[in-house]
Amino acid sequence: MRSLSWIAVLFTGVVLFYTAPSLPPIGDPESPASSHVSPYYIENSVSDMATPNLVTTVVTDYRGYDTLGETTVIMTAGLACLLILGFWTPMRRHPTETDRLSFGSPVLDAAARLLVPYILLFALYVLFHGHHSPGGGFQGGTLLAAGVILVRLVRGRDCGWGVDREQAVRLACSGAFLYYAVGLITMLMGHLFLDYSKLPLPLTAAMRRNMGILGVEIGVTVAVAGTMILIFDCLHATPHEDREAEVSAERAGAEGHT
């Protein structure tokens, strides 16, 4: 088994090192990857959708279907985590004392209190300024989730501003739905799915596309943030044995009452 895997690795290595020299040199502006669709994207995206960040326009407009699929995949991954782990662990309403005391220290607490507002503010900046500078929905969503997860790590899992696992599922699904909704609005207007220039807004076509991109980015942000929180929550939920102990304690309590 060991030697078999070495043979596979060696074979792949030989193939890679034999074929790599036939790739175009790095930085060649005439390389095939840079000479078919990408010049069109670079030259037309500012006039088409008034968005200077070319990566944002490619992600959300020129390749909007792609990103729609990716958002759905992310949402599905979060739900899959819940299906694999969540049903064995209860969504606890009343945190125990150990939940509060299991993490954190005064230093961590003070640092988190200082950092979290700026992380969340930066997340919103990255989202809304993503048209004009590096940033966008995926990055903003991850930052939002990072803020919430930092609070959970430091203050215990009961502390997360009401974003519990159910709420995270709702966030993930509604974010993905927002993306679909923007596409459906353009369809209801009688045009193509995700054709932002046909959104019912009193603006020029380029600005309507700009607004469509913003709506889609907000959807992606919400979906990504919800999914990240959901995955984190599922992974550090109560272990199985604790659940069994809890159930037996509840049963003992119920029998005591009857």
Partner 1 sequence: MSAFYEIANYWGVAILLLVGLHGMLARPNLMRKLMAMNIFQVAVILFYLSFAEKTGASTPVAPHGLLHPLAADFINPLPHALMLTAIVVGVGTTGVGLALLVSIYRRYETLEEPELLEKMRRENA
Residues interacting with partner 1, by CB under 8 A?
Answer: 2, 4-6, 8-9, 12-13, 16-17, 20-29, 31, 33-34, 37-39, 41-43, 45-47, 52-55, 57-59, 63, 66-67, 70, 73-74, 76-78, 80-81, 84-85, 88, 132-134, 136, 138-139, 142, 224, 227-228, 231, 234-235, 239-240
Minimum CB distance to partner 1, residue 93 (Å)? 22
CB 195 within 8 A of CB 45: no
In the bound state with partner 1, the residue whose beta carbon lies nearer, of 31 and 102, is 31
Cα(55)–Cα(138) distance, integer angstroms: 12
Tell me, rounded to whole angstroms, the distance of Cα 215 from its chain centroid: 15
Minimum CB distance to partner 1, residue 156 (Å)? 20
In the bound state with partner 1, the residue whose beta carbon lies nearer, of 73 and 121, is 73
In the bound state with partner 1, the residue whose beta carbon lies nearer, of 53 and 186, is 53
Minimum CB distance to partner 1, residue 144 (Å)? 13
CB 129 within 8 A of CB 52: no
In the bound state with partner 1, the residue whose beta carbon lies nearer, of 58 and 214, is 58
> Which residue type occupies 136?
G
- DSSP one-letter code for 42: H
Q: Residue 79: which residues within 8 A CB-CB, separation 6 or more?
A: 169, 172, 230
Minimum CB distance to partner 1, residue 223 (Å)? 10
Minimum CB distance to partner 1, residue 42 (Å)? 5
In the bound state with partner 1, the residue whose beta carbon lies nearer, of 40 and 110, is 40
Angle CA 41–46–52, to nearest 5 = 100
Using alpha carbons, select from 142, 122, 158 the residue that is nearest to residue 229: 142
SS3 73: helix
